[in-house]
Chain A
Amino acid sequence: MEKQALIEKVNAALAEEFEKEITDITPDANIKETLELDSLSLVDMVALIEAEFGVKIKSQEIGGIKTFAELYDFLEERVK
Chain B
Amino acid sequence: MKKRVVITGMGIYSCLGKSLDEVRQSLYDGKSGIVLDPQRKEMGFRSGLTAKVDMPNLKGILSRNQRVYMAEEGAYAYMATADALQQAGLDQDYLNTHEVGILYGNDSSAEAVVKSTDIMREKKDTTLIGSGAIFQSMNSTVTMNLACLFKLKGINLTVSGACASGSHAIGLGSLLIQMGLQDCVVCGGAQEVNPYSVGSFDGISAFSIREDAPAKASRPFDRDRDGLVPGGGAATVIIESYESAVKRGAPILGEILGYGFSSNGDHISVPNVDGPARSLEMALRQAGVGIRDIGYINAHATSTPVGDKNEAKAIAKVFDGYMPEVTSTKSMTGHEMWMAGASEIIYSMLMMKNDFIAPNLNFENPDEDSAKLLIPAKRVDKHFDMFLSNSFGFGGTNSTLIVKNL
Q: Is the CB of B129 within 8 A of A47?
A: yes
Instruction: Verify if A18 is at the interface (C-beta below 8 Å from B).
Output: yes
Cα A73 to Cα B305 in complex, Å, equals 65
Enumerate chain B residues within 8 angstroms of A50, measured Cβ to Cβ. Answer: 123, 125, 128
How many residues of B are counted as interface, with CB atoms below 8 angstroms from the partner's CB atoms?
13
Q: Is the CB of A19 within 8 A of B64?
A: yes
Instruction: Verify if A46 is at the interface (C-beta below 8 Å from B).
Output: yes
Q: What string of 1s and 0s marks CB contacts (under 8 Å) between A1-38 and chain B?
A: 00000000000000001110000000000000000101
Q: Is the CB of B131 within 8 A of A40?
A: yes
Which of B120-150 touch A at CB < 8 Å? 123, 125, 127-132
**B66 smallest CB distance to A (angstroms):** 11
Cα A40 to Cα B148 in complex, Å, equals 16
Instruction: Verify if B65 is at the interface (C-beta below 8 Å from A).
Output: yes
Which one, A19, A51, A56, A59, contacts B63 given CB within 8 A?
A: A19
Enumerate chain A residues within 8 angstroms of B59, measured Cβ to Cβ. Answer: 19
Instruction: Verify if B68 is at the interface (C-beta below 8 Å from A).
Output: yes
Enumerate chain B residues within 8 angstroms of A44, measured Cβ to Cβ. Answer: 68, 130-132
Enumerate chain A residues within 8 angstroms of B132, measured Cβ to Cβ. Answer: 44
Which one, B63, B64, B65, B128, contacts A47 given CB within 8 A?
A: B128
| Closest chain B residue, CB of each to CB of A20 | B64
Q: How large is the interface on A (under 10, 10 to 19, 20 to 34, 35 or more residues)?
A: 10 to 19
Q: Is the CB of A41 within 8 A of B68?
A: yes
Cα A17 to Cα B131 in complex, Å, equals 13
| Closest chain A residue, CB of each to CB of B129 | A47
Q: Is the CB of A47 within 8 A of B127?
A: yes
Cα A40 to Cα B130 in complex, Å, equals 8
**A60 smallest CB distance to B (angstroms):** 13
Enumerate chain B residues within 8 angstroms of A41, measured Cβ to Cβ. Answer: 65, 68, 131
Q: Is the CB of B64 within 8 A of A46?
A: no
| Closest chain B residue, CB of each to CB of A42 | B131
Q: Is the CB of A18 within 8 A of B128?
A: no
Q: Is the CB of A43 within 8 A of B65?
A: no
Q: Report B's interface with A, CB cutoff 8 A.
A: 59, 63-65, 68, 123, 125, 127-132
Q: Report A's interface with B, CB cutoff 8 A.
A: 17-19, 36, 38, 40-41, 43-44, 46-47, 50-51, 56, 59
A–B complex contacts, Cβ < 8 Å, 17 sampled: A17-B64, A19-B63, A38-B65, A41-B65, A41-B68, A41-B131, A43-B127, A43-B130, A44-B130, A46-B127, A47-B127, A47-B128, A47-B129, A50-B125, A51-B128, A56-B125, A56-B127
